Amino acid sequence: MSLDQKFDEAALKVKAFTKRPTDQELLQVYALFKQATVGDNTTAKPGLLDLKGKAKWQAWMDKKGTSQDAAKEAYIKLAEELALKYQ
């Protein structure tokens, strides 16, 4: 199975969780997904009052410089770990 196929399968696993991961875990899932699919964050930082948006933006920005393939591999690994806890 190719890396992209494994990544897509992991994304489906994350969507099928029956319990909600912690906010920190969700931020990591989000950041790795964005880094894997889009690459480095080049968007403007959200406004002062958008706390959720700022947290997501910062989590993605923290992954800056990570290659898309490395982000996919990290996402797959994280999805597997979380699946044991939340499915």
pLDDT tens for residues 29-83?
999 999 999 999 999 999 999 999 999 999 999 999 999 999 999 999 999 999 9
The one-letter amino acid code at 85 reads K
Distance in angstroms (rounded) separating the CA atoms of residues 82 and 66: 21
Q: What is the reported pTM? A: 0.94
- Say which CATH class 3-86 falls into: mainly alpha
Q: What residues contact 9, with CB distance under 8 A and at least 6 apart?
A: 1
Token pair 């494994």 is at which residue? 6
